[in-house]
Amino acid sequence: MAEIHLTIDGRTVTVKAGATVLHAARQAGIPIPTICDHKDLNPYGACRMCIVEIEGVRGFPTSCTTPAAEGMQVRTRSPELETLRRRTLELMFSGHPNTCLVCPHREACESMRPMATKAGRTTRCGFCSNREECDLRNMALQAGGRDLNLPTLYAAHNLERDDPFMDRDYNLCILCARCWRICEKIHGKPAISIINRGRQARVGTAFHKSHVHSGCTFCGSCIDICPTGTLTDRFARWHGKADTRADSACILCPEGCSLTAHVKGGQLVATAMTAFEPDSSLCALGRFGYAQIVNAPTRLLRPTIRDNGESFSVDWDSALDAAAAGLSKHESALGILVSAAASREDRHLYHLLAQELGAKFAAIPATPAGTKPLLPKWVTGPKKSRSSALILSGDFLEDKHLAGLDFLLVIDGLPSPAQERADVLLPAALLSEAEGTFRTASGQIKDLARSSRAPGMARPEWEILWDLGQKLGLKSMAFDSLDHITAAVGEDPAPQAFADAPRHDVRTLPAFYRGHRTADLVPALEAFGLSATPRPLKQDVSIEGFQLLETRELAPNMHLLRIKAPQVAAHAKPGQFVILMAKETSERTPYTLADWDAEAGSITLILEEVGRSSRELALLKAGEVLAHVSGPLGKPFPVAKKGTVVLGGGCYGIGAILPLARALRQAGNHVLSVIEASSAYLLFWEEELRAVSDEVRVATKDGSRGAYGGVQEVFQQIVDQQPVDIFIAVGCTFMMRMVAELTKPWNVPTFVALNPIMVDGTGMCGACRVSIHGETKFACIDGPFFDAHGVDWDELACRKSAYAREEVEALPQAVDLSALMFPGAARPRCGCGR
């Protein structure tokens, strides 16, 4: 191929014909910033960050789209280019909630909040699941100070979290088009593309269809190529960046697609395509279901044996002894039933065992939705023809097949009804937890990597079988290593492929894994018509009780809930809180009373959507009934005439300080209310507060309204202007801590409303324990208000994050599939007040 010589920044570069200026610069090691460019995609030229100057060419061409030409003189750096790039970056960020980047407290805040908050809408980096991996953020931080000082233009698109596996928040989208370009590259006809124009321009499906109905195959490549937190894997998103990646293969169907396991701290968090190429795509189960199966909360953890009708957990040695003993006894009538979704090594050892023991053997193939695997006669036939002892590796049999068995050994990783009858139950490692090889339908042999830790005492099946062979004294099963087993497998036949590969058609996803319904393990698969085991119907909820009278999103993530609770409303005092449960299965979570109306019997709360429980509450619709409301709880704030009182509210605290302001002013105080938010568009209730305060001041972390900074900056301003008798701050722990540190040297009494984890709210569980001046207090009955200068903040931060991982894992469960199943049904509209 012809060569081209060009000069970049004074250096001569030689590239192949067809290369772009960007390629040439990269080849020469000259950095040019890019965003929309991606090595696996065709150039697009939208972000305009890669502009350069070319001798004889008008304007500022984008290097990613400009073909290199002979003799070209390129400059990648000049004061003008720097200015244009910096301003373009600022413009891009103004359409991408970014206040953390310009917030004066960013470093302190990030050191206190190492993990991103699991908010509903991502309104800043601190709420973004992509924070750790974000190149844009680094680019913006590197660019340093601001030139244009632009306010964020929040697009206020609806959150899209009603499809089986993805959460999409297009308010973060910078329209780099990587997602639909990769979708087009992989599938030919993309499920998504850019829609609308101007301010409304965004990525979406045709006619706003749900992804399930748009031709999306859930390959997940759009998620993996998106540089922002817009597109996320609901299961993986809050786990943070993987620390290990390992290439392996999926064995859930005969295709045996290659995949890359993403592992963090030994836990499998996701599986993704190995490359952004059409033939590397994965099906919905391989991309999204795999990790959910591995992480199923029902995984079998311990070897168990049954004796005299009772089950005991035992150590491996005893369990294997019991298994060997049982097998020896029933050798003559033994059957072995295994799954074809297993490594060749596992299969081979089962096979050897069957040969040695003269047992019948069958491997049940994976089957697509709508079909059921055929079972061999020796388990389903007339009683006499059946094996009376079984090794069962999976969940293939019904009660009627199991009745009358003399001996049952179950080796599996997931629970099944058969296990209740098992004489010996051995917990197996699954999928990414075991090494081996797999033969695909096309005959290829792929390596399976062991990348994640098996739960509890579970072990790879080949190890279990190897040990069992030793216990049984079977010479043929004595191998030195896994490699030896692999070598011994020989030329095994390739499995029969599905008529249509699941990665091309969501309707052919595997319905079973080792006989377990995949829809039981990955409930979202029901969206594709895979059926789960029927569950008992939910009882009708009565419309009496704690009815939600009104619900509204005042600002992104900030929901106003008005609930019927006459008893609470009748006794509520400023500073008190309630504990809510959306459903019987929900956690109990505390919320400060923002207002109440004793006459109407209603209470008003401001709820910030930051995790599973608040999400459940935020998704309730008016008219629905909450499972429980208890309160009023906590000590009311001691309202008295003190002089000048300065109240500070951030996040939900803006609502929480309203009753305090009103009561304190009625008591004759001069009340100044200060509210803060990341950016102007996140403020709410300013007018409401004005009505009950003598003065209201505002601070934003990007300076888009009021003072630049937070409540603390305004407190400082106030103290510089006038004497203050009390400070009160309600908001996130970070804000209250900053306030406490600020006011301490001034010796002005300062109160904060602590918000630790609470369970019962009555002082019995101790979950809400805090230390004040070295003394243990319970926030629920002694608080929530405490002397800010006595709080042990480090302890509080530590206790608050104690369940971080559980909280992350609880999130994917909170998916409302009904919207999906009935696509016509009305979707909640964005009511974030814009």
Partner 1 sequence: MSFADIQQQARQSWMRFARPDVPRVLVGSATCGRAAGALDVLAAFREQCADDPALKGVDIHEVGCLGMCYAEPLVEIRGSEGSSVLYQGVGVDMVPDLVREHLGRGKPMVEHAACLMAGPPVEGLSRFQDLPMIRHQLRVVVRNCGIIDPSNIDHYLARGGYSGFTRALGMDQDAVIEEIKISGLRGRGGAGFPTGLKWSFARKSAGDVKYVVCNADEGDPGAFMDRSVLEGDPHAVLEGLLIAGYAIGAGHGYVYCRAEYPLAIERLRTAIAQMREKGLLGRNVLGAAFGFEITIKKGAGAFVCGEETALMQSIEGKRGMPRSRPPFPAVSGLFGKPTNINNVETLAAVSAILEKSGAWYAKIGTEKSKGTKTFSLAGKITRTGLIEVPMGISLRTIIEDIGGGVLHGKEFKAVQTGGPSGGCIPAKHFDLPVDYEHLAQVGSIMGSGGMIVIDHESCMVDVAKYFLEFTENESCGKCVPCRMGTQHLLRMLTDIAAGRGRVDDLETIRKIGDTMTKASLCGLGQTAPNPALTTLNSFMDEYLAHIEERKCPAGVCRALIRFSIDAGQCTGCMACTKACPVQAVAGKKKKPHRIDQNVCIRCGACRQACKEGAVMVE
Give, in order, the Cα–Cα distances in Å from 391 to each of 234, 414, 543: 37, 15, 51
- The region of 39-47, 432-440, 628-636, 728-736 touching ligand FES under the rule CB under 6 A is 39-47
User: Which DSSP state fits 287?
Assistant: I
Give, as ranges, the residues between 54 and 83 that touch ligand FES (CB under 6 A): 62, 64
Q: Does 280 bind ligand SF4 (CB under 6 A)?
A: no
Q: Does 66 bind partner 1 (CB under 8 A)?
A: yes
Q: Supply the minimum distance, in Å, between the C-beta of residue 64 and ligand FES.
A: 3
Residue 677: alpha-carbon gap to chain centroid: 25
Q: Are strands 360-364 and 670-677 parallel, antiparallel or unpaired?
A: unpaired
Quickly count helices (H) and strands (E) in the chain: 26, 38
- The region of 173-181, 383-391, 542-550, 678-686 touching partner 1 under the rule CB under 8 A is 173-181
Q: Supply the minimum distance, in Å, between the C-beta of residue 285 and partner 1.
A: 32
Residue in the block written with tokens 């064995």: 251
CA–CA separation, 559 and 620 (whole Å) = 11
Q: Does 34 bind ligand FES (CB under 6 A)?
A: yes
Q: Does 153 bind partner 1 (CB under 8 A)?
A: yes
Please identify which residue in 187, 344, 459, 612 interacts with ligand SF4, judged by CB under 6 A. Answer: 187
CB-based burial, 584-616: b 16+ in 10 Å, e otherwise: eebbbbbbbbbbbeeeebbbbbbbbbbbbbbbb
Q: Does 148 bind partner 1 (CB under 8 A)?
A: yes
Residue in the block written with tokens 């091309």: 504
Q: Does 73 bind partner 1 (CB under 8 A)?
A: no
Q: Does 327 bind ligand FES (CB under 6 A)?
A: no
Q: Does 191 bind ligand SF4 (CB under 6 A)?
A: yes
Q: Which amino acid is at 709?
A: G
Counting residues that bind ligand FES (by CB under 6 A) gives 12
Give the count of alpha carbons within 13 A of 578, CB side only: 32
CA–CA separation, 418 and 398 (whole Å) = 7
Give, as ranges, the residues between 77 and 136 that touch partner 1 (CB under 8 A): 80, 84, 87-88, 91-92, 94-95
Minimum CB distance to ligand FES smaller for 25 or for 236: 25
Binding flags for ligand SF4, 131-170, as an x/- string (CB under 6 A):
----------------------------------------
Q: Does 45 bind ligand FES (CB under 6 A)?
A: yes
Q: Does 682 bind ligand FES (CB under 6 A)?
A: no
Which of 735, 772, 582, 716 lies closest to 657, judged by CA?
A: 735
CA–CA separation, 215 and 514 (whole Å) = 28
Minimum CB distance to partner 1 smaller for 520 or for 702: 702
Minimum CB distance to ligand SF4 smaller for 118 or for 211: 211
Q: Supply the minimum distance, in Å, between the C-beta of residue 558 and ligand SF4.
A: 24
Q: Does 206 bind partner 1 (CB under 8 A)?
A: no
Give, as ranges, the residues between 210 and 229 that touch ligand SF4 (CB under 6 A): 216-222, 226-228
Which of 513, 476, 480, 512 lies closest to 350, judged by CA?
A: 476
CA–CA separation, 108 and 189 (whole Å) = 47
Residue in the block written with tokens 């039981």: 520
Minimum CB distance to ligand SF4 smaller for 273 or for 675: 273
Q: Are strands 445-448 and 512-513 parallel, antiparallel or unpaired?
A: unpaired
Judged by beta carbon distances under 5 to 8 A according to partner kind, the member of ligand SF4, ligand FES, partner 1, none in contact with residue 37 is ligand FES
CA–CA separation, 720 and 2 (whole Å) = 72
Binding flags for partner 1, 175-204, as an x/- string (CB under 8 A):
x-x---------------xx-xxxxxxx--
Sign of CA dihedral 654, 656, 661, 662: positive
Q: Supply the minimum distance, in Å, between the C-beta of residue 205 and ligand FES.
A: 24
- The region of 43-51, 153-161, 265-273, 519-527 touching ligand FES under the rule CB under 6 A is 43-51
Judged by beta carbon distances under 5 to 8 A according to partner kind, the member of ligand SF4, partner 1, ligand FES, none in contact with residue 147 is partner 1
Q: Does 46 bind ligand FES (CB under 6 A)?
A: yes
Q: Supply the minimum distance, in Å, between the C-beta of residue 209 and ligand SF4.
A: 11
Minimum CB distance to partner 1 smaller for 36 or for 664: 36
Judged by beta carbon distances under 5 to 8 A according to partner kind, the member of ligand FES, partner 1, ligand SF4, none in contact with residue 179 is ligand SF4
- The region of 32-40, 108-116, 767-775, 805-813 touching ligand FES under the rule CB under 6 A is 32-40
Minimum CB distance to ligand FES smaller for 64 or for 593: 64
Please identify which residue in 192, 291, 340, 663 interacts with ligand SF4, judged by CB under 6 A. Answer: 192
CB-based burial, 628-663: b 16+ in 10 Å, e otherwise: bbbbbbbebbebeebebbbbbbbbbbbbbbbbbbbb
Coil, strand or helix: which one is 421?
helix
Name beta bridge partners: 362.
Answer: 337
CA–CA separation, 689 and 339 (whole Å) = 65
CB atoms within 10 A of CB 550: 12
Judged by beta carbon distances under 5 to 8 A according to partner kind, the member of ligand FES, partner 1, ligand SF4, none in contact with residue 50 is ligand FES
- The region of 34-42, 252-260, 293-301, 631-639 touching ligand FES under the rule CB under 6 A is 34-42
Counting residues that bind partner 1 (by CB under 8 A) gives 38
Please identify which residue in 34, 62, 258, 613 interacts with partner 1, judged by CB under 8 A. Answer: 62
Residue in the block written with tokens 């059957």: 335
CA–CA separation, 418 and 300 (whole Å) = 13
Contact 268, 291 (CB under 8 A): yes
User: Which DSSP state fits 783?
Assistant: -
- The region of 44-52, 469-477, 482-490, 633-641 touching ligand FES under the rule CB under 6 A is 44-52
Using a CB cutoff of 8 Å and minimum separation of 24, what contacts does 504-507 make? 504/217, 505/217, 506/212, 506/216, 506/217, 506/218, 506/283, 506/284, 507/369, 507/370
Q: Does 174 bind partner 1 (CB under 8 A)?
A: yes
Minimum CB distance to ligand FES smaller for 38 or for 450: 38
772 phi, psi to nearest 5 deg: -120, 120
Please identify which residue in 177, 324, 362, 682 interacts with ligand SF4, judged by CB under 6 A. Answer: 177
Q: Does 36 bind ligand FES (CB under 6 A)?
A: yes
Judged by beta carbon distances under 5 to 8 A according to partner kind, the member of ligand SF4, ligand FES, partner 1, none in contact with residue 34 is ligand FES
Judged by beta carbon distances under 5 to 8 A according to partner kind, the member of ligand SF4, ligand FES, partner 1, none in contact with residue 187 is ligand SF4
Q: Which amino acid is at 229?
A: G
CA–CA separation, 279 and 130 (whole Å) = 27
Contact 763, 778 (CB under 8 A): yes
Strands (E) in 556-621, as ranges, are 558-564, 577-581, 589-597, 602-608
Judged by beta carbon distances under 5 to 8 A according to partner kind, the member of ligand SF4, partner 1, ligand FES, none in contact with residue 198 is partner 1
Judged by beta carbon distances under 5 to 8 A according to partner kind, the member of partner 1, ligand FES, ligand SF4, none in contact with residue 95 is partner 1
Please identify which residue in 67, 529, 763, 831 interacts with partner 1, judged by CB under 8 A. Answer: 67
Give, as ranges, the residues between 621 and 650 that touch partner 1 (CB under 8 A): none
602 phi, psi to nearest 5 deg: -125, 155
Name beta bridge partners: 649.
Answer: 675, 730
Residues that bind ligand SF4 (CB under 6 A): 173-179, 182-183, 187, 191-192, 203, 216-222, 226-228, 230-231
Residues that bind partner 1 (CB under 8 A): 43, 45-48, 51, 59-62, 65-67, 80, 84, 87-88, 91-92, 94-95, 147-150, 153, 174-175, 177, 193-194, 196-202
Residues that bind ligand FES (CB under 6 A): 34-37, 45-50, 62, 64
